[in-house]
Amino acid sequence: MQTVVVLMALSFGRTFLDQELPTGAVHVVPDPDVKRHRDRELAGQVERILATGRDVVVDAPSHGGRRAVMLVAADRGARVVGYWARPPKVGMPGLLELQPEYSQLTRRPRRADGFDLLYEVVDPDREYHLREL
């Protein structure tokens, strides 16, 4: 079964990325230059990759982007695994001025949102541990 991993954080440490993400998965990041239909573009990228038989890792800070990706995953029979890390309070106001969609990262996602598995990553930049949500 293919896997779509949805990353919901400002950043994750190298240790986390190396240990938790599927080997050989294609990493997809929303195009910052696409303002209109960004969610549709992201979902299209995921669909094209899944069609090749590969797993996908998606940076999806916005709820709309996550929802679009999860709909594609469901249509293709892929399982959706989410990793969320609580954003730091330091530096958040400045970042939100530049990237308002990141404000959605302050709300903890729920498994009922469409995730097959959902984890909170605690201390994602150092010796992290996972807590199932």
Q: How many domains does the chain have?
A: 1
The two beta strands, 79-84 and 117-122, are parallel
* Residue recorded with tokens 């954003």: 87
What the block records as the tokens of 37 is 């239909």
Q: Domain holding 77: CATH number?
A: 3.40.50.300
DSSP state of 53: T
pLDDT tens-digit profile, the chain (133 residues): 999 999 988 778 888 888 999 999 999 988 777 777 888 999 999 999 999 999 999 998 788 889 999 999 999 999 999 999 887 765 555 555 555 565 666 778 999 999 999 999 988 677 888 999 9
Domain that holds residue 68: 3-132
Instruction: Output the pLDDT for position 61.
Output: 74
The two beta strands, 56-59 and 26-28, are parallel
Instruction: Output the pLDDT for position 15.
Output: 84
Instruction: List pLDDT tens digits, range 64-88.
Output: 889 999 999 999 999 999 999 887 7
For the entire predicted model, the pTM comes to 0.86
Distance set, CA 14 to CA 11, 18, 46, 77 (Å): 9, 6, 23, 29
Instruction: Output the pLDDT for position 43.
Output: 94
